Amino acid sequence: MRTITVLSGGHGGAKFIAGLLHGISAGSLPGVSPDVQVTVIANTADDLWIHGLKVCPDLDTVMYTLGRGLDHERGWGRTDETWSIKEELEAYDVPNTWFGLGDRDIATHLVRTQMLEAGYPLSQVTEALCRRWLEPLHGDRVRLLPMTDDRVETHVAVKDPDLAASPSGLKVVHFQEYWVRLRAGVPAEQVVFVGLDEASPGPGVLDAITDADLVILPPSNPVVSVGTILGVPGVREVLRATRAPIVGVSPIIGGHHVRGMAEQMLASIGVDATAAGVGLHYGARSAGGVLDGWLVDETDAGDVAALRTAGLRADAVPLWMSSDEATAAMAAAAIELVTR
Amino acid sequence: MRTITVLSGGHGGAKFIAGLLHGISAGSLPGVSPDVQVTVIANTADDLWIHGLKVCPDLDTVMYTLGRGLDHERGWGRTDETWSIKEELEAYDVPNTWFGLGDRDIATHLVRTQMLEAGYPLSQVTEALCRRWLEPLHGDRVRLLPMTDDRVETHVAVKDPDLAASPSGLKVVHFQEYWVRLRAGVPAEQVVFVGLDEASPGPGVLDAITDADLVILPPSNPVVSVGTILGVPGVREVLRATRAPIVGVSPIIGGHHVRGMAEQMLASIGVDATAAGVGLHYGARSAGGVLDGWLVDETDAGDVAALRTAGLRADAVPLWMSSDEATAAMAAAAIELVTR
């Protein structure tokens, strides 16, 4: 196996890929050569403009995690972060109260914004940023591709008490506002992917799926992370057509997400927040879906039968990413599931 | 005297205004009421875009100085500055090697850039920023006005050894690059004010001169600071017409500038870098110039006669701004010169 492609969101996906790379280095993944090429196709529908800066939370979380620059205690942003700009914005009475922007992180956004404004597409900007973060540690063995160079934004409709008199009674907020400011504390009545239908896959995205020896859907949010990548026109088609086996790892364990707000998102699209529910939502390729195999946690072993009935290979193994070693073992089980 | 208008560059002008305000508070300025309104019209021709941010060195130096936020040891930028972004830009291999941008300073540029991109003119942006810096200390007694809302940029032509074969043998750099990167270490063959001829005076600029009880030209650079303000179409005309006396303070002492690069700039326009040379360059209003009085340092007492012959009131007093008290004494002498 020479090429692996991963469709990733932020935190969960990044952590999984770190474990995957650990397994590759350790030689613990069945049939995977040590010089395997890993391509990460990352969700960009969480991206937002804040204080005039283009922020790409999922791209940055993957980049910082794999480049050993992520603050793991916080779970986002940079190590050794400083907060002078945050203090100053408060002094100017234009605080960003809900979205944390550290000084070091802002430098990334400044470089990105300046390149975008000079006319470079996000894919080239990401490649330039990765020269710092990925090349020194991973050479050319790891590539990070935005799912699209086009602007796509996930918005979430929530009940708004102030608008009770309005026809819908809803207000729409950017996904980041729903997640970071509202802490996903109210039901997502509807999730809208602005621009997704008209987006084109980023350079290399379709080829990375077509030419892969294996495609992995890591434990990322099935609606707002992996779901948006699948929604980029053309992506589903190449997933259905690729000769590579496609295996997914459940982000739901025992009926709950490990981190994030997959439960709220799944509710908004009427999908059961269970390991089987998500696997069946993706569906077996043999039945028009995008998966060949679906790995669930041992807690959810009872879901395996239903998944197999639906045409999926399925197994139950421990899915807690408590260390790179534990995550590498998950990756090995996922690979084993679809290549044995 | 209820209103004083000052035409200012960065460092020298800001320091003078700080002394002027000190003299007002101390009641040591002849004929000046304690509630006098001070309007500062600041040069914006040094402004530049760097890393996608709009930086206004003279506006910020005045704002930070009067708001007690300027780092006096460095002579520019913010107190308690941190440098995380500078480190990060170096790590990204896009260092700003010649223009220092601290994290706190960048917050100012972020707020400014975002407001400009939202469509606010620089004058309104400056007013908003000054709500933090000037209001708490000075209430509404001090206003800071950009000379224009239009983009004006001073460029400097220097001899370029690499272009020796080119017809002119010159290359043109932004004024800030000449001053900060080249440290004004090579002769300025020519100074070009891009956009100045087409610029309109900023809101309030002409009225602040017309309605003033006194206009002061502080010891700022006569070419690239005060010279550019005088070059905004309409400014010279209202200076000639205002009923306010106009007094200037020499930035040249003993044939040298105190700080900056006035000597190089004066050489580029063929003006003697002497106290008299600059006074005569501005010229007496009675002879088509913009001054009624010109204060020189006691070292340059020998220049007074020539200045008086040219129709200017002139005096020689100590002009070293070694403390707010010393500067207030200079301001008092300047006021005395044109109001006695």
What stretches of A186-336 adopt beta strand conformation (E)? Answer: 190-194, 214-217, 246-249, 252-253, 256-257, 293-297, 313-317
Distance CA A118, CA A15 (A): 32
Please write down the long-range contacts of B115-118, taking CB distance under 8 Å and 24 or more positions apart: B116/B54, B117/A52
Q: At what angle do helices A103-117 and B84-91 cross, to 10 degrees?
A: 50
* Inter-chain CB proximity A52 and B114 less than 8 Å: yes
Span of B3-17, B45-59, B163-177, B179-193 with lowest mean pLDDT: B163-177
Residues 6+ apart with CB under 8 A from A118: none
Chain B residues in contact with A79 (beta carbon < 8 A): none
CATH code for the structural domain at A3-149+197-339: 3.40.50.10680
Residue A156 above 90 pLDDT? yes
Q: Which residues of B touch A111 (CB under 8 A)?
A: 51, 89, 92, 94
DSSP classification of residue B11: H
What confidence score (pLDDT) does residue A113 get? 96
Q: Is A216 left (phi over 0), alpha (psi -120 to 50) or beta?
A: beta
Residue A88: list chain B partners with CB under 8 A: 103-104, 107-108
Q: Which residues of B are less than 8 Å from A104 in CB distance?
A: 84-85, 87-88
ipTM, two decimals:
0.91
Shortest CA distance from A111: residue in chain B: B51
Q: Is the pLDDT of residue B96 over 80?
A: no
Residues 68-127 of B with CB under 8 A from A: 81-82, 84-85, 87-89, 91-94, 102-104, 106-108, 110-111, 113-114, 117
Q: Which residues of B touch A81 (CB under 8 A)?
A: 84
Q: Which of B327, B318, B273, B270 shows the shortest CA–CA distance to B295?
A: B318
Give B132's contacts in chain A (Cβ within 8 Å).
Answer: 91-93
pLDDT for res A340: 86
CA of A340 vs chain B CAs: smallest distance (Å): 43
Interface contact B51, partner A, CB < 8 A: yes
CB contact under 8 A, B106 and A104: no
B132:A92 CB<8 A: yes
pLDDT at B112 over 80: yes
B108 interaction partners in chain A (CB closer than 8 Å)? 88, 92
Query: pLDDT exceeding 90 applies to what percent of chain B?
Result: 89
Instruction: Give contacts of B130 with chain A, Cβ < 8 Å.
Output: none
Q: Across the interface, do A108 and B88 touch by the CB < 8 Å criterion?
A: yes
A-contacting residues in B 11-40 (Cβ below 8 Å): none
Which residue pairs, CB below 8 angstroms and at least 24 apart, start in B306-309?
Answer: B306/B276, B306/B280, B307/B276, B307/B279, B307/B280
Closest chain B C-alpha to A174 CA, distance in angstroms: 19
Q: Which residues of B touch A103 (CB under 8 A)?
A: 82, 84-85, 88, 103
Distances (CA, A) of A167 to A160, A170, A172: 11, 8, 14
Burial of B109 (0-12, 13-18, 19+ CB in 10 A): buried
Residues of B within 8 A of A117 (CB-CB) are 52
| Over residues A138-162, mean pLDDT | 94
Tokens 């002078």, located at residue: A84
Task: Please tell me which of the candidates A52, A93, A131 has its beta carbon nearest to residue B113.
Answer: A52
Q: What is the pLDDT of residue A95?
A: 78
Residue A132 and residue B82: Cβ atoms within 8 Å? no
Query: With an 8 Å Cβ cutoff, are A82 and B82 in contact?
Result: yes
> B167 or A254: which carries more pLDDT confidence?
A254
* Among the partner residues B91, B110, B129, nearest to A52 by beta-carbon distance: B110
Give per-residue pLDDT as tens, A257-284: 988 889 999 999 999 999 999 999 999 9
What does the buried/exposed string (b/e) look like for A5-17 if buried means 16 or more CB atoms within 10 Å of the residue's CB? bbbbbbbbbbbbb
Measure the CA–CA gap between A59 and A81, rounded to whole angstroms: 18
Q: Does A317 touch chain B (CB under 8 A)?
A: no
Residue B167's pLDDT band, with cuts at 50, 70 and 90, is confident
**Interchain proximity B84–A89, CB inside 8 Å:** no
Taking an 8 Å cut-off on Cβ atoms, the answer to whether A89 and B103 are in contact is no
pLDDT score of B163 more than 70: no
Question: Nearest Cβ partner of A84 from B53, B82, B91?
Answer: B82
Taking an 8 Å cut-off on Cβ atoms, the answer to whether B103 and A82 are in contact is yes
Q: Is the pLDDT of residue B37 over 80?
A: yes
Q: Is A326 on the interface with B (CB under 8 A)?
A: no
Measure CB to CB from residue A84 to each of B89, B92, B104 and give the nearest one: B104
Computed over every residue of chain B, the mean pLDDT equals: 95
Chain A residues within an 8 Å CB radius of B87: 104
Residue A294: which pLDDT band, with cuts at 50, 70 and 90? very high
Distance of alpha carbon B47 from alpha carbon B218, whole angstroms? 20
The SS3 assignment for B308 reads: helix
pLDDT at position B169, please? 84
Cα atoms found within 13 Å of the Cα of residue B138, Cβ hemisphere only = 27
Q: What is the mean pLDDT of residues A166-182?
A: 87
pLDDT attached to residue B165 = 65
Q: How confident is the model at residue A204 (pLDDT cuts 50, 70, 90)?
A: very high
> What is the predicted pLDDT for the residue at B54?
96
More confident residue, B239 or A181: B239
- Nearest CA distance, B50 vs chain A (angstrom): 9
The predicted structure's pLDDT at residue B215: 98
Residue-averaged pLDDT of chain A: 95
For residue range A70-102, what is the model confidence (pLDDT) as tens digits?
A: 999 999 999 999 999 999 999 999 877 788 899
Q: Which of B52, B84, B104 sits opposite A104 (nearest CB)?
A: B84
The DSSP element (H or E) to which B48 belongs, if any, is strand B48-50
What does the alpha-carbon distance between residue A170 and residue A153 come to, in Å, rounded to a whole number? Answer: 18
Chain A residues close to B91, C-beta within 8 Å: 132
The answer to whether residue B97 scores a pLDDT higher than 80 is no
Nearest to B85 among A91, A106, A114 (CB): A106
Q: Which pLDDT belongs to residue A164?
A: 65
Instruction: Return the residue of A nearest to B101 by Cα.
Output: A107
Which residues on neighbouring strands pair with residue A157, listed in sequence order? A172, A190
Nearest chain B CA: its distance from A128 CA (Å):
8
Contacts of B110 in chain A (CB under 8 A): 51-53, 85, 89
Would you say the C-alpha torsion A45, A50, A55, A61 has a positive or negative sign? negative
- pLDDT tier, B326 (very low <50, low <70, confident <90, very high otherwise): very high
Sort B165 into a burial class: Cβ within 10 Å, 0-12 / 13-18 / 19+: exposed
Residue B164 pLDDT exceeds 90: no
